[in-house]
Structure 1
């Protein structure tokens, strides 16, 4: 008999692996920035260099963990809503089957550990894992959905993520413009 809960920790492990990878890059960037503004040398007088690096890594990892956990929460909500609106499956089999797709993100997280020297490679691995999971989700959900429902799920997912990212980009640009406008020239 197969234990349904055997892979329940995979999403947490994937989030931790991606967080560690992205935080290693962020830590290097922060160290460079702190050195550039001259603060790093002063910090080394009070703390050992390894302690500073570890503290920065932990802080960056906590921030990345929060971002990836929020993305997973949003993704689970969008997946559930798309199945609610377009699936004929009332017992929840499609969502239960799609949970095994967390192996895709776990493999992506493991791959990202080997490429922490390049942000673009890590971002590419994360995007590739996301696209592969999306294809897997549509394939798994397709057994209990009509063709119109399948098209509805795809459009719902694409429109939801595009809207969220557009809103985030708009707010970021608005904030940037307001900060730039408030600076004395």
Structure 2
């Protein structure tokens, strides 16, 4: 069966799997912090143990799902912009060729569930999956591009993602520093 839409649900499943892995890991950390702070026992007066854990898991799953869905939207936009700027073809064949790359993220999402007890493990799996997808992306589109176009796509992707990442880190550090400066210590 060679249907082009056969793997169309893989991005959704990959987002769900990565979100679930991180949500479970964060839930375990938050519950541990709540227990250490003595808040968890007070919460058990209103909710059952399972109710607290389920509510926290669902809340975190929705939060991380939104983050990964936004990242996928940004990634698709960056991929298509790089193809717009550097590809020789205009029929969209490159997009059809890279569609099967969602399998890479699906496998990475499944592997992330094996690393539930480690933020570092989930991060390494996500980074490795992203690098593997990027290599796959460049390999598949390089047939419809010149050497300069392929280098342009790589450069464009690296510059845009580096800018986004450094901007987010800069803003996070500014917020952290302003919170620390405002504390009455």
Question: Structure 2-normalised TM-score?
Answer: 0.98
> Which residue does the alignment assign to 2:36?
36
Q: What is the match of residue 170 of structure 2?
A: 170
How far is the alpha carbon of 1:32 from its aligned partner?
1.1
Aligned position for 2:84: 84
Secondary structure in structure 1 of the residue aligned to 2:128: helix
- Runs of 4+ aligned residues of structure 1 deviating over 6 Å after TM superposition are none
Tell me the matched-pair count: 185
Q: Which secondary structure does the structure 1 equivalent of 2:44 belong to?
A: helix
Q: What stretches of structure 1 of length at least 5 have no aligned partner?
A: none
Structure 2's unaligned 5+ residue stretches are none
Distance 1:148 1:74 in 2: 24
Q: 1:2 deviation in Å?
A: 2.1
2:129 is aligned to 129
Q: Deviations over 1:84-140 (max 9, x none)?
A: 000011001101211110000000011111111111111111110000000000000
The residue number in structure 1 matching 2:75 is 75
TM-score (norm 1): 0.98
Distance in 1, Cα, partners of 2:176 & 2:117: 28
Distance 1:148 1:105 in 2: 28
Aligned to 1:46, the other structure's residue is in SS state coil
**In structure 2, what is the Cα distance between the partners aligned to 1:77 and 1:96?**
15
Q: CA RMSD in A?
A: 0.8
